[in-house]
Amino acid sequence: MEQINNKLLNWASVLDEKTRDQAVLASSMPFIHPYLALMPDAHLGMGATVGSVIPTLKAVMPAAVGVDIGCGMIAVQSQFNAKDIEGLKRRKLRQCIEAVVPMSSGKNNKKLTDSARARVQELKDLADDAHFTPDNYAANWTLQLGTLGSGNHFIEASFDENDDVWLFLHSGSRGVGNKIAQRHIKTAQEQCHEEGTYLPDRDLAYLPERTPEFDKYIRELRWAQHFALLNREEMMDRVVEQFEKWIGKPVVERERINCHHNFTQQEHHAGKDVWVSRKGAIEARRGMKGVIPGSMGTASYVVEGSGNEASLYSSPHGAGRQHSRNSARKHFTQDQLREAMKGIEYRDTIAFIDEIPAAYKDIDQVMMDAKDLVEITHTLRQFVNCKGD
């Protein structure tokens, strides 16, 4: 761990200058308490660095949560082993999953499943309690529940170190969450501008506690976080069902882990109640379980928190980008992606070049940097990968 200044601690051994400068700028905001913690996967973000833990006193910066509110991971450990699926066509599993989980930007369900209908009702009740109408953000939000999206979102089937089969996926609050986030980021920027508040970066605009704008953001943020959690549950139920059809036997879930890595919640640190925004970071209190994915073709990890107080009880959320998407498309080829994905069933398309492992930090180095933050309980290697383009 490196102390960059009295308001910024850093766990990243690989940290470019622009990312470092951005984190320094965010840590200079007057309401940071006690300090900003930079995780091993830190990379450049919007306003605040992705891979940072940002505790704020009596204020929240909406862009420090991010536009994919509640984005995170869900993982299921099954009772099956590699030997149980010998001879089965892995392409069939991928195609079956892709047939029941809408993927890619803007792709939604055509109708609600019974399980999605129950979850939608839960979200409608929660919205009523929060006194807001999600239809005002996205009229089709109910059909977004159970959809993956694109970018670095994925569904995978993997083997662990004992060759046991795991199913896991990465997604968040979809279009409705994005629109909620964008609306409140804009509100914070407009309010700071109207009040003549100096901002070193307009994406560090904030909403102060005890204002109607703050209260509305927190209510809608919590709804979007719950949408993201239920979205992952809905997709995982569908993935499990397709795996059962593929293998011809019911799945016995030995473990199910569902965790956010883009979220805000109230916590107590350094003697004060603060809002902790984890933007690309997971909560890692002692014994708390989480999932830290690598990139396409690399290892992922199931972990338990070490309860590191200095890190504000947090850990990295993944590998962290080294190349922007545009940069990756210029630097790498489809043949290089094929080589990285050798032995893994995936949809072979040029659209995924920006997700090539070389566009990300070395996940093993990230986990080495995080050795005091989490304990690795399982190391996963994927054998089927599903993504939207």
Backbone φ/ψ region at 146: left (φ over 0), alpha (ψ -120 to 50), beta:
left
Q: Tell me how far apart the terminal alpha carbons of the chain are, to the nearest angstrom.
A: 37
Asked whether the beta carbons of 76 and 167 are under 8 A apart, the reply is yes
Nearest to 383 by CA among 349, 345, 337: 345
Tokens for 188, please give them: 């914070």
- Between CA 111 and CA 131 the distance in angstroms is 26
> Which residue is catalytic, options 170, 260, 317, 378?
317
Q: Where are the alpha helices (DSSP H) in 290-376?
A: 325-331, 334-340, 363-369
By CB atoms closer than 10 A (0-12, 13-18, 19+), residue 86 is exposed
Asked whether the beta carbons of 186 and 96 are under 8 A apart, the reply is no
Nearest to 243 by CA among 170, 148, 154, 165: 165
Q: Helix axis angle, 90-100 relative to 212-247, nearest 10°?
A: 140
Nearest to 109 by CA among 273, 238, 296, 221: 238
Asked whether the beta carbons of 144 and 228 are under 8 A apart, the reply is no
Asked whether the beta carbons of 154 and 387 are under 8 A apart, the reply is yes
Nearest to 50 by CA among 32, 68, 29: 68
Asked whether the beta carbons of 320 and 42 are under 8 A apart, the reply is yes
**Catalytic residue at 193?**
no
Buried b (16+ CB within 10 A) or exposed e, 60-72: bbbbbbbbbbbbb
Phi, psi of 379 (to 5 degrees): -110, 125
Asked whether the beta carbons of 339 and 356 are under 8 A apart, the reply is no
Tokens for 273, please give them: 């109640």
Asked whether the beta carbons of 213 and 188 are under 8 A apart, the reply is yes
Q: Residues with catalytic annotation?
A: 317
